[in-house]
Copies of this chain bind each other. A is one copy, B any other.
Amino acid sequence: MCGIVGIVSTEPVNQQIYDSLLLLQHRGQDSTGIATADGAQFHIHKGRGQVREAFRTRDMRALLGTMGLGHVRYATKGDAANEREAQPFYVNAPYGIILIHNGNLTNTRELADDLFHKDRRHMNSASDTEMLLNVLATELQGEVSGSLDLDPDQVFNAVRNVHERVEGSYAAIAMIAGHGLLAFRDPYGIRPLVLGRRTAGLVGDEWIVASESLVLENGDYEIVREIAPGEAVFVTMQGEMYSRQCAANPRLVPCSFEYVYLARPDSIMNGISVYEARLRMGDRLADTVARYAPLGDIDVVMPIPDSSRPAAMQVARKLGVEYREGFYKNRYVGRTFIMPGQAQRKKSVRQKLNAMGSEFKGKNILIVDDSIVRGTTSKEIVEMARAAGANKVTFTSAAPPVRFPHVYGINMPTRAELIAHGRKIPEIAAELGADHMIYQEVEDLQAAITEGTSIEQLDLSCFTGEYVTGTVTEEYLDWVERTQLS
C-alpha cells in the first residue's frame, strides 16, 4: 500500500506536495520521496520513515519547480528499511522520466526477463516500480520520432503498450522532463486515483492527481473525476490537460480493502464515501449479529479505535445496545533497543491499547474490529477485555474472513499465517478465546460498499481467492510466499 500525488501548478509545488503527503501518511510510513521539475531539470529527495522525519528545510528548498510528485510507502515486500526500493525512480532516456506507483505487478518474472534480454535495461533494485518505469521508458522510446516535440498521442500510445505488457494493479504518476505530468491506472482500476482542478485566476488551471479525494478537498481543488480504469491523463507543463482510454477492455474492479481499512473515512473513492460504506458495513454486520448471537448476551458494543468506530456505532444503533469506548489508544510508539547480551523482547498490543476497567467489569461485550488478518492482536484484545473483568466476549469483524493473500498492493502474510486460512469460524473463536465470533458475509460487504452505485464488481480476492488478473495462479502464490520469506 502506498499513497501518491502529482501536481502541475503555477507556483512552487514543494510545500503543497509535502502537505498532501501528510494527508496520505496513513497509506505508508516506511519511506517517502518527492520529485519536482524546474523546467527540464529534476530535483529529488527521498528519506526513511514518515514525511516529517524525512524532509528538512534544506531538502525542501532544493525541491524547486512548479510541477512535482510525491510518494509515501508501506513496504509491500522485502525489507522496509531498504532505501534502494524507495520511490520515486528515475531514468534519463528517453527524455528523462520520473515515476511513482501504488499497486503491485504480478508478472514481474516475465518483465524482468524481457527488460534484461530485449530492452537491455538495467534494474538496480527488486522494485516493480522500477520495472513499470522501464517498460514505460521502452515504449516511449519506441514512439520517438524525428520531430522534437512529444505530443499527447505518443504518450498515450506508450501507455497502451504498457497495459499490454504489464499485469497487476497500478495507479501511477510520471513526469516527463520538459513536457508534463502523466497519470494512468490499470485496466481494472484496482488501486484508486482521482483527478482535480483549481483555477488560478488569470494564470490558468492547476491540476492534481492523488490516491484519495481528501487531498484535493484540503487543497481547495475541485474533484473532476476518478481516472477511469485503463485511462491516461497527460497535463503539459503549461497546464493543458489531455486524456485517453488506453486499455482494450477496461472494467472497474476496485479493491474492497480500501473501504474496509486502508482509506481515510473522509475520502470519496469511485464515487463512494468511505465513511458511509463503513456505516453500512455496521448496519449489515448488525443484521448478521442479530441472526447468530443471543442478543440478551450483549450489554455494550465497543470499537477497536480508530478504524472500526463507524461500523461499531451502527452495530450499536441498529441492535439498540449501548455504544461505549472501553479501549484507549496510545498514540506514541517507540522502539525496543537490543542491549548487548539481551534477547529481543516482544512488544505486546498493550503498548498500543489499554482497557478502561469500569466499562468491562461484569459486562457482556461485543467488540467490533474492521477486519482480522493474523489474529494475534485480536487474541490479545480478548485477553485484555477478560483481564478488565468482561463476562462474555463476542468478537466481530466488519469484513469477511481473510483466507487468501492480497497480491494487488497490500502487504499480507503467507496463507499459513492467516488465522482464517483453513479454519472454520468456531475454530477461530476458540483460537482467539472469544465466546462468539461473527464475521461479515461476503455478499454483505459487497453490497455495503457498492450500494447506490453502478459498480458491479469488487476485488474481493483475499476473501474469496478469485483474482481478476489471470496470472495469479497457485504457482504464483507459492512463488510469492517463497520469495517473501527468503
Contact = CB atoms under 8 A, between A and B. Distances in A.
A317 B322 contact: yes
Contacts of A309: 325
Nearest to A323: B323
B15 A61 contact: no
Interface string A216-259: 01100000000000000000000000000000000000000000
B337 A57 contact: yes
Contacts of A18: 334, 337
A23 B356 CA distance: 15
A155 interface: no
A310 B356 CA distance: 11
A164 interface: no
A125 B480 CA distance: 39
Contacts of A122: 40, 42, 92-97, 177
Nearest to A265: B328
Q: Which of A119, A123, A323, A335 has the most CB of B within 10 A?
A: A335
A90 B351 CA distance: 31
A50 B264 contact: no
A92 B91 contact: yes
B95 A334 contact: no
Interface in A27-43: 40-42
B51 A332 contact: yes
Interface string A58-77: 00110000000000000000
Interface string A303-332: 000000110010001000011110010111
A1 to B, nearest CB: 15
A151 interface: no
Interface in A99-131: 117, 119-124
A193 interface: no
A121 to B, nearest CB: 5
A266 interface: yes
Interface in A1-30: 12, 14-15, 18-19, 22-23, 25-26
B356 A275 contact: yes
Contact of A351 (B22, B335, B340, B351): B22
Contacts of A343: none
Given A148-B117, A330-B22, A337-B57, A137 B93 contact: yes
Contacts of A473: none
A334 to B, nearest CB: 4
A330 B212 CA distance: 14
Contact of A265 (B51, B124, B148, B356): B356
Contact of A328 (B53, B124, B264): B264
A52 interface: yes
B51 A334 contact: yes
Given A91-B93, A95-B122, A324 B313 contact: yes
A273 B93 contact: no
A459 to B, nearest CB: 25
Interface in A316-375: 317, 322-325, 328, 330-340, 345, 350-351, 354-358
A12 B341 CA distance: 12
A61 B96 contact: no
A397 interface: no
A14 B325 CA distance: 33
A185 to B, nearest CB: 25
15 contacts: A12-B339, A14-B337, A14-B339, A18-B334, A22-B334, A42-B124, A218-B351, A264-B328, A266-B354, A266-B355, A276-B358, A309-B325, A313-B325, A323-B323, A331-B331
A-B residue pairs, 7 tightest by C-beta: A96-B122, A94-B120, A25-B332, A60-B337, A92-B122, A266-B354, A52-B334
Given A52-B335, A96-B124, 11 more contacts: A19-B334, A25-B332, A42-B122, A55-B337, A61-B337, A92-B92, A93-B121, A96-B121, A214-B354, A275-B358, A331-B331
